[in-house]
Amino acid sequence: MDSLKSEMKKRYDALQAEIKTLCLKNKRPLDSVKLMLVSKTVPVERIQEAIDFGHCLFGENKVQELSEKEPIFRASNAEFHFIGHLQTNKVKKCIEHASMIHSLDRLSLALELDKHLQKLGKTMDILIQVNTSKETSKFGVEPDGLLKLVREIAPLSSLKIKGLMTLAKFSSEEEIVRPCFQLLRELSAQVRNEGIPGVSMSELSMGMSSDYKIAIQEGATIIRVGTAIFGKRNLPDSHYWPET
């Protein structure tokens, strides 16, 4: 019965439909944009609800929280990507749970990841996070340093570079947000043109609740949406993106 559909499921269905519409409008294949639900601070019951209605890709920002929620993901086929700032001392726990890391932004972290993955005989799909907004509070490699970092990470055989990730400048103005996404797409093309062995640039992880439309227009393949589905968070975003 449709009247029993939860508000969350209604928002979810509307968003999935909108993604398809945006793909059509932008002459992109209908399945070219994956929706990740960002479940940071979201109670497990709500995550479970999303899993129950068939959603299977989630994003978490904190290793501690990821570990706590892990049992419900393990119990289903849901996949978890790590999208937050990763401290080197949390690497071990992170790779136990996550199936992709979107926020690799420095060589020291890559080396630490590779060390632990090699021990486990595992590989990990990763995205390189780029600071496209010139905001010091955002993590990510500077655009100028991207190619060098990719070249340094590429030989680490446990890490499979699949693309790039960014957070646009927080602004309601399209002309401030869009250039961040355009820059990420251009950087991705540049890296692809280098033809570095083992490096794929198939994913562009960009766009959140406030700016996913622009991100899809600019070529996002993964959008990371939290509040638009789960509602407002109790903790301010500074909890997740502390000032550097």
CB 193 within 8 A of CB 174: no
Verify binding: residue 83, ligand PLP, rule CB under 6 A: yes
H/E stretch holding 34: strand 34-38
What backbone torsions phi and psi does residue 97 show, to the nearest 5 degrees? -110, -40
DSSP 4: G
Verify binding: residue 240, ligand PLP, rule CB under 6 A: yes
Q: Which is nearer to ligand PLP, 18 or 194 (CB)?
A: 18
Q: Which stretch binds ligand PLP (CB under 6 A): 133-141, 173-181, 194-202, 220-228?
A: 220-228
Verify binding: residue 111, ligand PLP, rule CB under 6 A: no
Verify binding: residue 227, ligand PLP, rule CB under 6 A: yes
Alpha-helical regions (H) of the chain: 7-25, 44-52, 63-74, 91-97, 107-120, 146-153, 174-194, 212-217, 227-230
Task: Give the separation between CA 204 and CA 162, rounded to whole angstroms.
Answer: 9
Verify binding: residue 146, ligand PLP, rule CB under 6 A: no
Q: Which of 39, 61, 131, 132 binds ligand PLP (CB under 6 A)?
A: 61
Verify binding: residue 38, ligand PLP, rule CB under 6 A: yes
What are the angstrom distances between the C-alpha of 241 and each of 11, 54, 140, 212? 26, 29, 11, 19
Count of residues that bind ligand PLP according to CB under 6 A: 14
Q: Which is nearer to ligand PLP, 190 or 227 (CB)?
A: 227
202: how many CB neighbours lie within 10 A of its CB?
Answer: 9
Q: Which stretch binds ligand PLP (CB under 6 A): 3-11, 90-98, 139-147, 224-232?
A: 224-232
Q: Which of 67, 99, 209, 217 binds ligand PLP (CB under 6 A)?
A: 209
CB 159 within 8 A of CB 153: yes
Nearest residue to ligand PLP, by Cβ distance, number only: 226
Verify binding: residue 181, ligand PLP, rule CB under 6 A: no
Q: Which is nearer to ligand PLP, 47 or 83 (CB)?
A: 83
* Angle of CA points 129, 80, 180, to nearest 5°: 25
Verify binding: residue 85, ligand PLP, rule CB under 6 A: no
Got the DSSP string for 86-108?
A: PPGGGHHHHHHH-SEEEEE--HH
Q: Which stretch binds ligand PLP (CB under 6 A): 9-17, 87-95, 172-180, 206-214?
A: 206-214
Residue 86 CB, nearest approach to ligand PLP (Å): 12
Binding residues vs ligand PLP (CB under 6 A): 38, 40, 61, 83, 167, 208-210, 224-228, 240
